[in-house]
Chains A and B, each alone.
Chain A
Amino acid sequence: MHSGGEMEQETRWGRFRRSEAAQGYLMVGTPALYAILLLGAPLATIILYSFLTDGYLEIIRDFTFANYREAWTNELYRSVMLRSLWVAAAVTAVTVLLAFPVAYFVSFHVAPDRKSLWLFLITIPFWTSYLIRVFLWKVILGFNGVVNSGLMGLGIIDEPLTFILYNVNAVVITLAHAYAPFAILPIFVALEKIDRSLLEAGQDLGESKVMTFWRVTLPLAMPGVIASVLIVFIPTIGDYVTPALVGGPEGRMVANLIQLQYLKLDNYPLGSAIAVSAMSIVTVVSLIFLFLNRRFLRGPK
C-alpha cells in the first residue's frame, strides 16, 4: 500500500512535469504556428516555385534549374542585382559613417541626464510613415523641389539639377536618411558600454586623443558598428518603395525586378529564382559580418 501511494505520487509528479512542459509548448506553439504559416510556408512556396517551369498561363510542374541559370547569367538581371548590392553598400557606408559621429556625440559629449532626450529627438523622423518620408525627399530633390528652387533663387545655378532625382543618388540619399536612427542606436549602445577609464588609460600610456580613438574606442565600438551595418544593409538591399518612387528607370533594384516578374510578366518561377538568389546573397554577406563580429566580441567583459 505504502509503495503504491508513493508510485501514485511519482506519476502525479511526472504528470505535473509533463503538463508544465505541455504548457510551455502551448505557449511557444502559437507564435511558432504563426511564424510557420506566415514566414516558413511562403518561403517554402517561393523556393518550390523557383525550381518549376513557367508555362504561358500556368506553372508547369517540371523540375528545372533554368530559372537560376537565367537569373545568374542574364545581363539585365545580373546588373540589377549588382546595382542592388552596390546601392545597399553605399547606403550602409553613408548611413554608418554619418551615424557614428552622432552616436559618439550623444554618448561622449551630452550630459548623462540629457541623453534620453537626444535619443528621443533622433527618433523624430519615425513619427511620419516611411512612404511619406520618401515622398518628402521627392519634394526636396525634385525638378522644382526645395534644393533646386533654393539654389536657383540664390543664383548659384541657372537651371535645375537633374542628377539628384530619379537615379541611384536619390535612392542612396533617401535610404540613408530613413535608416539613420537604426544605425545610430546600436553604435550608441556600444559606445555607452565603453569604460571611460580605458580612454584615460590610452592617453596615460602615451597616445594622443586621436590615436586613443583608433586603438581603443573604435575597436570597442565595432560590435555596434557591425550591428548597424547589418541592420541597414539587409533591409535596404531588398527595398522596394524608395527605388520605385525616387529611383527612376536607372535606379531600379532587385525588389522592383521581382515585382516586375511576378505582377507584370506573370513569371512566378523566374521571380522566385531571383528572390531566392537575392536572399542567398544577403545571407552570405550577413554571415561574413557575423563572423567579423565574433572576432571583435572575443573579449567581452
Chain B
Amino acid sequence: MTVAAKPTMIEFRDVHKYYGDYHALRGITATIRAGEFFSLLGPSGCGKTTLLRTIAGFEEISSGAVMIDGRNMEGVPANKRPTNMVFQSYAIFPHLTVAENVGFGLRRARLPKEELTRRVGEALEMVGLRGLGARAAHALSGGQRQRVALARALILKPKVLLLDEPLSALDKKMREQMQVELIKLQRQVGITFILVTHDQEEALVMSDRIAVMFEGEIAQLADPETLYRRPTSRKVADFIGTMNFLSARILREDAQGIEVEAQGLGRMLLDASQAPGAASGTGTTAGFRPETATILFEGQKAEREAMGTIDEVVYFGDMTYYDVRLDGTEAPIRISMRNVFGRPVLDIGARARIAWSPGAVVLFR
C-alpha cells in the first residue's frame, strides 16, 4: 500500500493555541495518515511539543479542531484518547518495578494474572528487555528507561504513539541505534508514530513525512527527500542541512521555465518545480546544497564551471568542507567533497574551478 492510499488518522483544522497573549499555535492545518512515521521538526519554542500535546489531550486548543480517526477530540480527556505517549523524561514511575510500569495501563482491562504477566512479558520482549521485569525502575540506564516507556505505551495498542524528543537524552551511539530500532518497531506494529524532534538528521532518517515548524506555524510538510531537495523557503532550507544562497535576478518566466541570473554562477534556465515556494517578498535567491557542486581536478571538464578562491578548509576525515568565494561575490559558499583515494586536500588561498548543475538549484523569491 502506498503512503498516499492510507486513510487519515489525525487531522488538524486551523488549530490555534494561546497562552495568555502568547500565540503558540497559529492556525495549524495538516493531516497525518494511518501507519505513518510522522515528525514534527523545528527549533525549540516553535510549538511542536505543544502541537503533540494537543493530540495527547494535555493542552486544550483555543480554536479549531483536532480529529483522531475521524472523531473530534474536543472535551475528550487524555485518559480517554486512543493515543499513548513516550515522554521526554520517560516518566517511569519510580515506585514501581519495570513490569509494574509496563502493565500500568492494563489495570482497567482487568485481565487474569497469567494473561497480564504474559502480555507484559511480550511487551518487554518486543523492546529487548526480556527478563528485566522484576527490576526496580530506578536501577535502569537511560536507554532501558526509554524502552520501558515504549513498552508501557505500546502494550495498550494505541492508534497513535506520540514521542516527545525521546532520543535527546541519549548519547550519540545509543541515539543512532535507537533510531533504527524505532523504525523497525514502527514497521512491526504498524501504529502511527508521531515524533517531536529538533534534530533535522533524526527527522530525515526516521520519518515518512516531516512537518517543519517555525513560530507556531507549519512552514513545510513533505517527505524527507522533497524537504531536502525542494525546500519552499530559505528558512526551511537553512534549518534542514546546509544550503548556499546567492542573490539572483529573474530574467524571464514562461512556459519553458524560469531564466535566472545568479551572482557568481551566471545565467541558467530552471524548471518551474525548482521554485516550489510562494513569493516571500524578501528578494530573489538561488540556493544549492554543498554536495551538489564539485571542485574540479586539473584536466577535468564540466558543462558548467565557475571560478573561486578557497577561503577555509574544514577536514572531517571522510569529507572535507571548503568555503569558496566565487569570483564576483562577497560571501563564501560551502562545498563538501568526499575524500576519495588520490584526491589531495586543497589549501586555503588556492584557486578552484567549481562544477555545478542548474538542476540542483532551488529558487526562493
B105–A206 CB distance below 8 A: yes
23 A–B pairs (Cβ distance < 8 Å), ordered by A: A197-B87, A198-B94, A200-B85, A200-B91, A201-B85, A201-B91, A202-B93, A203-B57, A203-B78, A203-B79, A204-B83, A204-B84, A205-B79, A205-B84, A207-B104, A207-B108, A208-B77, A208-B79, A215-B107, A220-B94, A296-B95, A299-B94, A299-B138
List which B68-110 residues lie within 8 A (CB) of chain A. 77-79, 83-85, 87-89, 91, 93-96, 104-105, 107-108
Which residue of the partner chain, among A204, A205, A301, contacts B94 with CB atoms under 8 Å?
A: A301
- Do A200 and B138 form a contact, CB below 8 Å, given A205-B105, A219-B95, A220-B95? no
Is B87 a contact of A299 with CB atoms below 8 Å?
no
Contact A204 B56 (CB under 8 A): yes
Tell me whether chain B's interface is mostly helix, strand or loop, or mixed: mixed
* Residues in A neighbouring B105, C-beta threshold 8 A: 205-207
B156 within 8 A of A: yes
Contact with A along B134-153 (1 / 0, CB 8 A): 00111000000000000011
- Judging by beta carbons under 8 Å apart, are B79 and A299 in contact? no
Q: A248-275 CB contact bits vs B (8 Å, 1 = yes)? A: 0000000000000000000000000000
Number of chain A residues whose Cβ lies closer than 8 Å to a Cβ of chain B: 21
Bound-complex Cα distance A118 to B321 (A) = 58
Determine whether the beta carbon of B93 is less than 8 Å from that of A216.
yes
Q: Lowest 3 A-B CB distances belong to which pairs?
A: A205-B105, A201-B91, A197-B91
- B155-191 residues at the A interface, CB under 8 angstroms: 156
User: Chain B: which residue is nearest A212 at the CB level?
Assistant: B79
Q: Does A300 contact B (CB under 8 A)?
A: yes
Q: How far apart are A118's CB and chain B's nearest CB, in angstroms?
A: 22
Q: Indicate if B315 sits at the interface (CB-CB under 8 A).
A: no
With A204-B84, A206-B108, A299-B137 as known contacts, state yes or no: A198 contacts B77, CB within 8 Å: no
Q: Is the CB of A299 within 8 A of B56?
A: no
Please tell me if the beta carbons of B79 and A198 are within 8 angstroms of each other in the complex: no
A48-61 to B contact mask, C-beta < 8 Å, 1/0: 00000000000000
The verdict on B58 contacting chain A, using a C-beta distance below 8 Å, is yes
Report yes or no: A205 in contact with B137, Cβ–Cβ below 8 A. no
**Are A206 and B79 in contact, CB atoms less than 8 angstroms apart?**
yes
A299 and B91: CB pair below 8 A? Answer: no
Closest Cβ of chain A to B164, distance in Å, is 9
Which chain A residues lie closer than 8 Å to B56 at the CB level?
200, 204
- A202 CA to B85 CA in the complex, in Å? 11
Residue of B79, B83, B137, B156 with highest tally of chain A CB at under 10 A = B79
Instruction: For residue B96, give the distance in angstroms from its CB to the closest CB of chain A.
Output: 7
Instruction: Enumerate chain A residues within 8 angstroms of B104, measured Cβ to Cβ.
Output: 202, 205, 207, 215
A109: Cβ under 8 A from any B Cβ: no
Task: List residues of chain B with CB within 8 A of the CB of A300.
Answer: 94, 138
8 more CB-based (< 8 A) A-B contacts, given A205-B84, A215-B104: A197-B91, A200-B56, A204-B83, A204-B84, A205-B152, A206-B79, A206-B105, A216-B93
A206 vs B156: C-alpha distance in the bound complex, in angstroms?
9
A220: nearest chain-B partner, CB-CB: B95
Interface string of A262-301 (1 = CB under 8 A from B): 0000000000000000000000000000000000101111
A195 located at the interface, meaning its Cβ lies under 8 Å from any Cβ of chain B in the complex: yes
| Beta-carbon contact of A201 and B93 below 8 Å | yes
Residues of A within 8 A of B87 (CB): 197, 200-201
Name the one of B77, B85, B136 contacting A298, with C-beta atoms under 8 angstroms. B136
A2: min CB distance to chain B, Å: 52
Contacts of B91 in A (CB 8 A): 195, 197-198, 200-201
Bound Cα distance from A202 to B77, whole angstroms = 12
With A299-B136, A301-B94 already in contact, the answer to whether A205 and B156 are too (CB < 8 A) is: yes
Q: Which residues of B contact A299 (CB under 8 A)?
A: 94-96, 136-138
Closest to A208 in B: B79
